[in-house]
Amino acid sequence: MRKIIFYIVMAVMITSCTTSLQPVNQSNVPPPPPPVTVPDVPMPDARKNQVTMVFPNINKMTSVKKTIEFLASDELEGRDTGSMGIEIAAQFIEARFRNAGVAPYFDTYRDNFIAKEKDAFNLVGVVEGNDPALKNEIIIIGAHYDHIGNGKPVGDDVIANGANDNAAGTTTVLALADHFAKAKTNKRTLIFTLYSAEEKGLLGSKHLAKRLKDQKTTPYVMFNIEMIGVPMIKKDHLVYISGYDLSNMPAKFNKYAGENVIGFLPKAKEFNLFMRSDNYPFYQEFGIPAHTISSFDFTNYDHYHGVGDEADKMDIPFMENVIQKLIPGLERMANTPTQEIKMNEQN
């Protein structure tokens, strides 16, 4: 894999660093050196606890291609929860939020929790709505940014890079955050959420949903993005949505977008994908329309949780197209005078 060029400053911390899509039925060292330019991304010595990343050229790292190449690079070692790799990914995401003008939703971008005895954190940014009344109606746009670390070796490759799962979703959330922070057209408040420990049982989204509930915050809808790195074949829509029949979100979104962006996938219902991604904890806590979109249809990608899930296998034009098609649907969702997206009555 071609490596990414950027600047790095290493600073030793006293405490340890913080930080499958399995079906769910659910280090004393000298003072840090001054900033240096390096030709590659060096992973820190395992005895060191944390690095502080500096991204002076972050404006050159915002494209879909560069974002996913960074997040799925070998140097991030598969972004396992509690790892150095996910810490670096998190600092990149924080730099992107700051650069775009996305504010921290809490005191900082980090929403800390413990995941199977490891320090972990979600990343939560906000673009406040511009309408005095509607800004209190929150739309959550999310994806998980963790992956599994290592996978089954193929030759000397053991890193499960997680390009499609879910650097693709993370890249999309960052692109949407960039757009809305610049456009400032949203009447409702948009919260952009990147979850850790999804691969360990949706632990990050469960924590955030409960925290919002404890704060008596009830979101309007939750829109989750998972595995959109490759297109489906012979479909009349770009992505499918989990829990298709549970709310009117698919029909409303397509009306808002002016085209058939979201469709139905029978296997999503057969495998109950509605319960298997980070949308589900928000449905459990709030009973709101909370869905996941994806283009992984079980036939179009052979590298799920494998070492072959690399950035060079992602269809960048497809991802760029999906992002552009999502914007008008989300923009209209954020601006309707009333809450038009509702749960369907269930028999």
Q: Is 280 exposed, middle or buried (0-12, 13-18, 19+ CB in 10 A)?
A: buried
Question: Cis bond leading into 166, ω under 30°?
Answer: yes
The mean per-residue pLDDT over the stretch 156-183 comes to 98
**Structural domain count of the chain:** 1
Question: Which pLDDT band, with edges at 50, 70 and 90, does 347 fall under?
Answer: low
Whether 339 is in a domain gets the answer no
Q: What is the pLDDT of residue 346?
A: 75
The mean per-residue pLDDT over the stretch 19-24 comes to 34
The mean per-residue pLDDT over the stretch 173-188 comes to 98
* Structural domain boundaries, residue 20: 7-333
Q: What is the pLDDT of residue 50?
A: 65
Least confident of 15-29, 81-95, 193-207, 227-241: 15-29
Q: What confidence tens digit (pLDDT) does each residue in 43-89 have?
A: 444 324 567 888 999 999 999 999 999 999 999 999 999 999 999 99
The mean per-residue pLDDT over the stretch 13-24 comes to 32
Whether 197 is in a domain gets the answer yes
Whether 178 is in a domain gets the answer yes
Whether 223 is in a domain gets the answer yes
Question: Which pLDDT band, with edges at 50, 70 and 90, does 270 fall under?
Answer: very high
Answer yes or no: is pLDDT of 333 > 80: yes
- Mean pLDDT score across all residues of the chain: 88
The mean per-residue pLDDT over the stretch 215-241 comes to 97
Helix H, strand E, coil C: the string for the chain is CCCCCCEEECCCCCCCCCCCCCCCCCCCCCCCCCCEECCCCCCCCCCCCCCEECCCCHHHHCCHHHHHHHHCCHHHHHHECCCHHHHHHHHHHHHHHHHHCCEECCCCCEEEEEECCEEEEEEEEEECCCCCCHHHCEEEEEEECCECCEEEEECCEEECCCHHHHHHHHHHHHHHHHHHHHHCCCCCEEEEEEECCHHHCCHHHHHHHHHHHHCCCCCCEEEEECCCCCCCCCCCCCEEECCCCCECHHHHHHHHHCCCCEECCHHHHHCCHHHCCCCHHHHHHHCCCEEEEECCCCCCCCCCCCCCCCHHHCCHHHHHHHHHHHHHHHHHHCCCCCCCCCECCCC
Q: What is the pLDDT of residue 115?
A: 97
The mean per-residue pLDDT over the stretch 225-233 comes to 97
Whether 192 is in a domain gets the answer yes
Whether 275 is in a domain gets the answer yes
Say which CATH number the domain at 261 has: 3.40.630.10
pTM: 0.87
Whether 340 is in a domain gets the answer no
Q: What confidence tens digit (pLDDT) does each residue in 86-142 have?
A: 999 999 999 999 999 999 999 999 999 999 999 999 999 999 999 999 999 999 999
Answer yes or no: is pLDDT of 18 > 60: no
Q: What is the pLDDT of residue 305?
A: 96
Q: What is the pLDDT of residue 276?
A: 96
Whether 312 is in a domain gets the answer yes
